[in-house]
Each structure stands twice: as structure tokens, then as C-alpha cells.
């Protein structure tokens, strides 16, 4: 089967390409504006196109026409961007992704779309509650631009679903819940505000001795999934085209639910365990408005109900501490080998 992956050079995409390349069962076509994160994968195992899905539309069309399966991962996925550049988020995450959907419809190609758990919005519940794929989607006010990302992802999902209903598209929508692992985002100088997702922030702080900044005290909760478990979930979908046809799946580990303060405490502890050195980083509280800007809002994210994906035979294997330890071991190893450093100046 020929699989074309858009956004293949990102965090999740690079792990999918690595996984598919190791299995050597399919022709893999990787498309991205950058291939930095694909560096360790044998170049003969896949074909790479450096292309922008917004401007290289003829190439995109050609690749979709040739493919048996299209996987779309392209998006701005860091909350700081939703607040700083909401229109760019709509342009990439909705308009450019819709173009891919429409080309899949035209060429009758199967699509696996990476959406987000963030589509659920401000869902809340009692201790032990889980969110399933039929839950209501509830967002904050328009002035809180954080929700533009979820709105774009939600509308894209609705259009994909409607094409499926009309018999024009075979699709699977995946809603990831906070995957972590090697190659997540990028490192930042101590005290940076905004920027990458939380694990990359805390890892940067530990490597530089800077503070671990807890937005609004770190009471928000997230369920973290090891990227290897996430890749296994993709494989489960691939292995069961009938069971995953025109369906939406949560992809996460409900047992790895923690507050962000809890994540910081585990990371401090694991740092000590892996390096033998007491971390010098402190936990500090920072107001959300100071960290992200006025358009930020947070959700009361519930852990995922994974009944649907479990029915395909998938089960997450790694608990929170193992997930954190394996990811931190990668960063510490790369840092010690001089292949990764905390920049002195802000980067994007
Ligand atoms: P990422 O930012 O690492 O990957 C996105 C990739 O898209 C990047 O490599 C980027 O270069 C590429 N890209 C951006 N603009 C492009 C363009 N115009 N043309 C071609 N390529 C372009 O993000 P990720 O964490 O790998 O997430 C992948 C997908 O999964 C996204 O759709 C994201 O919204 C979704 N998601 C991820 C998570 C998670 O836990 N990582 C959670 C929820 C949703
Ligand atoms: C993000 C994106 O919206 C989506 O890509 C995706 O749905 C989700 O990640 C995911 O990875 O599944 P979010 O979970 O809010 O959403 O992403 P983070 O930036 O990792 O933030 C998690 C929590 O940590 C938030 O409460 C945030 O305020 C907090 N945070 C972040 C800190 O306390 N300190 C930091 O240094 C950074």
C-alpha cells in the first residue's frame, strides 16, 4: 500500500514514518516543510517531499491521486500560537486541511485525519469521569482565541463526517490526548513564556536549571500518552480498516491522568533518578495571562474513554512514570552527547 503522510516531519509524523519504515510493508511518502526530525530514519526507507500544503497544491494533488491512504497531521498545535496568530491557525488547520479532504473526496482516497482532544473544549466532570467520542463540544467566548484551534478542528471533523455520510469519503478521525516522547516540539531558554507544549518547557527548564513555570498554579489536568503507544494505536487502525471505517477515536491513556503540578513533580523526581543529581529548578506559579496573553483560556480536560479504540485490540502499555522516564532519558542522552542544547535566545 502507498501511504502519503502530510506533516510527516513533525513530532507524531516522524514516529509514524520511523515505525512504518521499520516494518517495511508499505511505500511511504513523507511530506513536510521540514525534515529535521526524520534525520535518524534511513533515507532509503521512505520518499520525502519538502512541500508546503498551502502553496504546492499540484504536488499535493498528485500525491493524493497516487496514494492508497492519506494521513494528515499538518497543524499549528501549540496553544501559544492560537492566541498569538489565530488567523494563521484557521488558514493552516482548517483551510489548508480542508483542501486535502476535498482532494481525498475527488480521488476517492481513504483519509486518516489527526484531530485533537481539544475539540471537546471545556468539558468537566466528577472524579473518575471519562469523555467519550459522542460527548458535547463546549467552548469559551470568541474573545478567548484559544478556542479557534478547537473550532477549526471541529469544523474539519464535521465536514469529513458529512462526506462520509454522503458516501463520498472513507475516513478515520483520531483525537490525540497529550502524546509525549522524543522530538516533541523544541527547547526554550529559561523563563520563556508561550512557545512549546508543557513537556518541552519543563524539560528545557530541567536542562538549564531554570524554573518550571506552573500556569495558574498547575491545577489543570492532562492524560499523557507515550508516543510508542500512540504509534501502536495508529497501527491498530491500519490493521482494521473495517473496524475503523468512518469512525472517530480517542487516543489517550486515562490511567496517566495528572495535574500539571503532578507532572512537574514526577519530572523533578525522574531527573534525580536518571542523573543522580538533585535538580536545581524550582516550581514557580505564573498567571495564564502573563504566560500566554489575554486570549488564553484553559479547559477542565477529562481523561479519555478508550472503549472504541480498545475494541480494535489496542491498549496503552506505559504508565505515567515510565512514559516520562523514557522521554526524559532521550532528552538527557541527546543533551549529554551534545546533539541538543537549550538555546540562549527564544526560538520558534
Ligand atoms: P508538530 O507541530 O510536531 O507537527 C506538525 C507538522 O506539520 C510539522 O512538522 C510542520 O512542519 C508541518 N507543517 C506545518 N505547516 C505545514 C505546511 N504548510 N505544509 C506542510 N507541512 C506543514 O505537531 P504534532 O504534535 O506532531 O501533531 C500532529 C497532529 O496531531 C496535528 O494535527 C495536531 O493538531 C494533532 N495533535 C497532536 C497532539 C499531540 O499530543 N502531539 C495532540 C492533539 C492533536
Ligand atoms: C495542546 C494543543 O492544544 C493540542 O495540540 C493538543 O490537543 C494537546 O496539546 C495535546 O498535546 O494533546 P494543551 O494540553 O493545553 O493543548 O497543551 P500544553 O501546552 O502542553 O499545556 C498543558 C497544560 O500545561 C496547560 O494547562 C498549560 O497552561 C500548562 N503549562 C504549559 C504550564 O503549566 N507550564 C508551561 O510551561 C506550559
Q: Is 152 in the pocket of ligand 1 (CB under 6 A)?
A: no
* Residue 343: other Cβ atoms inside 10 A: 13
Q: Specify the pLDDT at position 347.
A: 65
Helix, coil or strand: residue 279:
coil
Residues of the chain predicted below pLDDT 70: 347-348
- Residue 312 and residue 244 in contact, taking contact as beta carbons nearer than 8 Å: yes
Q: Specify the pLDDT at position 348.
A: 56
DSSP 243: T
Please tell me the pTM assigned to this model.
Answer: 0.98
Check 149, 271, 292, 296 and give the catalytic one.
149
Q: Is 92 in the pocket of ligand 1 (CB under 6 A)?
A: yes
**Closest listed residue to residue 260, CA positions, set 208, 217, 207:** 217
Q: Specify the pLDDT at position 34.
A: 98
Q: Report the nearest atom of ligand 2 relative to the CA of 179.
A: 11
Distance of alpha carbon 213 from alpha carbon 210, whole angstroms: 9
Helix pair 97-107, 57-66: axis angle to 10 deg: 40
Helix pair 227-239, 11-23: axis angle to 10 deg: 60
The residue whose CA is least distant from atom 28 of ligand 2 is: 215
* Residue 1: other Cβ atoms inside 10 A: 11
Q: Report the nearest atom of ligand 2 relative to the CA of 77.
A: 5
Q: How far is the CA of 181 from the centre of ligand 2 (A)?
A: 14
Q: How many CA within 13 A on the CB side of residue 73? A: 22
Q: Is 89 in the pocket of ligand 2 (CB under 6 A)?
A: no
Residue 46 catalytic?
Answer: no
- Residue 300 and residue 124 in contact, taking contact as beta carbons nearer than 8 Å: yes
Q: Is 7 in the pocket of ligand 1 (CB under 6 A)?
A: yes
Q: Is 260 in the pocket of ligand 2 (CB under 6 A)?
A: yes
Amino acid at each position: 500500500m502507498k501511504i502519503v503522510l502530510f506533516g510527516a516531519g513533525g513530532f507524531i509524523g516522524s514516529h509514524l514514518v520511523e515505525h512504518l519504515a521499520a516494518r517495511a510493508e508499505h511505500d511511504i511518502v513523507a511530506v513536510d516543510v521540514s525534515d529535521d526530525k526524520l534525520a535518524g530514519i534511513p533515507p532509503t526507507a521512505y520518499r520525502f517531499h519538502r512541500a508546503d500544503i498551502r502553496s504546492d497544491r499540484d504536488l499535493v494533488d498528485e500525491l493524493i491521486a497516487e496514494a492508497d491512504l492519506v494521513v494528515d497531521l499538518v497543524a499549528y498545535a501549540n496553544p501559544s500560537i492560537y492566541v498569538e496568530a489565530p488567523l494563521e491557525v484557521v488558514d493552516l488547520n482548517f483551510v489548508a486541511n480542508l483542501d486535502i479532504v476535498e482532494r481525498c473526496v475527488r480521488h476517492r482516497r481513504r483519509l486518516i485525519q489527526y484531530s485533537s482532544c481539544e475539540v471537546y473544549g471545556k468539558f468537566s466532570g466528577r472524579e473518575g469521569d471519562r469523555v467519550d467520542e459522542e460527548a458535547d463540544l463546549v467552548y469559551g467566548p470568541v474573545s478567548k482565541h484559544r478556542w479557534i484551534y478547537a473550532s477549526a478542528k471541529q469544523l474539519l471533523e464535521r465536514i469529513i463526517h458529512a462526506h462520509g455520510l454522503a458516501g463520498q469519503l472513507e475516513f478515520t478521525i483520531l483525537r490525540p490526548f497529550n502524546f509525549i516522547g522524543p522530538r516533541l516540539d523544541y527547547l526554550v531558554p529559561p523563563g520563556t513564556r508561550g512557545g512549546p507544549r508543557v513537556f518541552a518547557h519543563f524539560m528545557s527548564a530541567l536542562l538549564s536549571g531554570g524554573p518550571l513555570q506552573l500556569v495558574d498554579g498547575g491545577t489543570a489536568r492532562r492524560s499523557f500518552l507515550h508516543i510508542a503507544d500512540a504509534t501502536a494505536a495508529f497501527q491498530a487502525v491500519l490493521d482494521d480498516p473495517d473496524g475503523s471505517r468512518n469512525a472517530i477515536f480517542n487516543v489517550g491513556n486515562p490511567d496517566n491522568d495528572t495535574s500539571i503540578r503532578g507532572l512537574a513533580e514526577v519530572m523533578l523526581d525522574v531527573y534525580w533518578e536518571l542523573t543522580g543529581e538533585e535538580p536545581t529548578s524550582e516550581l514557580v506559579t505564573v498567571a495564564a495571562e502573563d504566560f500566554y496573553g489575554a486570549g488564553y483560556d484553559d479547559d477542565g480536560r477529562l481523561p479519555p474513554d478508550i472503549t472504541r479504540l480498545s475494541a480494535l485490540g489496542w491498549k496503552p502499555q506505559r504508565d505515567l512514570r515510565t512514559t516520562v522516564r523514557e522521554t526524559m532519558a532521550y532528552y538527557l542522552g541527546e543533551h549529554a552527547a551534545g546533539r541538543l542544547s537549550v538555546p540562549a535566545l527564544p526560538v520558534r
